[in-house]
Amino acid sequence: MTSSGEATPLDWRTRWIIRLAGWLIFALGRTWRVRVYGRDAFLKRAPSDPRAVFTLWHGQMLPVLWVHQPPTGVIISEHRDGEIIAHLVARFGLFAIRGSSSRGGARALLAAVQALREGADVAITPDGPRGPRHEFAPGALVIAFRAAVAIVPIVVHIDRAWRFSTWDVFELPKPFARVTVLYGVPRTVDADDVRSVSLLAPHFAEVMAEDLLRVRALGVARSGAGAATDAAA
């Protein structure tokens, strides 16, 4: 699959910065002690099995990119900062679907549904691209409803991280951090029609909040018990 939507050209300095950032992330990521829960069910699917819409909070994007493996299209803003993220996402083997709630939304929705029907998963940050933090916008629900697939939340706990002073409190795990990633239970979007889908957004925000508590408990338990046998993702 290839990226969808219009691309904003980047100057050569920005492209080199993205490439350098990719190298640094890969070098840093190899030091992380990662444990992933719930991902195997998605890796073991047959090509004919239903795909999924994965939802993750914008500030936890980096560790999810590091551990995620199924072929996935990531919905990314058409703004210039989105173009930078699109190039970075490609370095992790994923592809961009351009558009957001503020720009190119209808095109992104159609492209996402098409990607799901062609056998790829779709990932979206329901609080992106500009917040408010951890507020679940209904775009992911509309895509899942139209494609008749499930929503799967992905949440992260990091025991040691740099947390930036951005609207999403972007998290970058420190060297040798314990990173715990939880793939939640698939949930269908049970609505009568697309107009009523947005009414379900608060429920899915609560689901992700509950999963954050679960993954935090798993991460704290790991820290207390030690992690000498952790398997890297």
Listed residue (191, 136, 161) closest to 60, CA to CA: 161
Q: Is 176 left (phi over 0), alpha (psi -120 to 50) or beta?
A: left
Q: State residue 22's pLDDT score.
A: 87
What is the tally of structural domains in the chain? 1
Q: Three-state DSSP class for 201?
A: helix
Residue 10 lies in a domain: no
Residue 124 lies in a domain: yes
CATH of residue 114's domain is 3.40.1010.10
Residue 22 lies in a domain: no
Residue 9 lies in a domain: no
The Cα 102–Cα 81 span in angstroms is: 14
Dihedral of the alpha carbons of 124, 87, 118, 40, in degrees to the nearest 10 = -60
Q: State residue 205's pLDDT score.
A: 97
Residue 213 lies in a domain: yes
Residue 4 lies in a domain: no
233 residues of the chain, pLDDT tens digit each: 545 555 557 788 888 888 898 899 999 999 999 999 999 999 999 989 999 999 999 999 999 999 999 999 999 877 767 788 888 889 899 999 987 655 557 888 999 999 999 999 999 999 988 889 999 999 999 999 999 999 999 999 999 999 999 999 999 999 999 999 999 999 999 999 999 999 999 999 999 999 999 999 999 998 875 444 344 44
Q: Domain of 113?
A: 34-225
Residue 207 lies in a domain: yes
Q: State residue 228's pLDDT score.
A: 40
State pTM to two decimals: 0.89
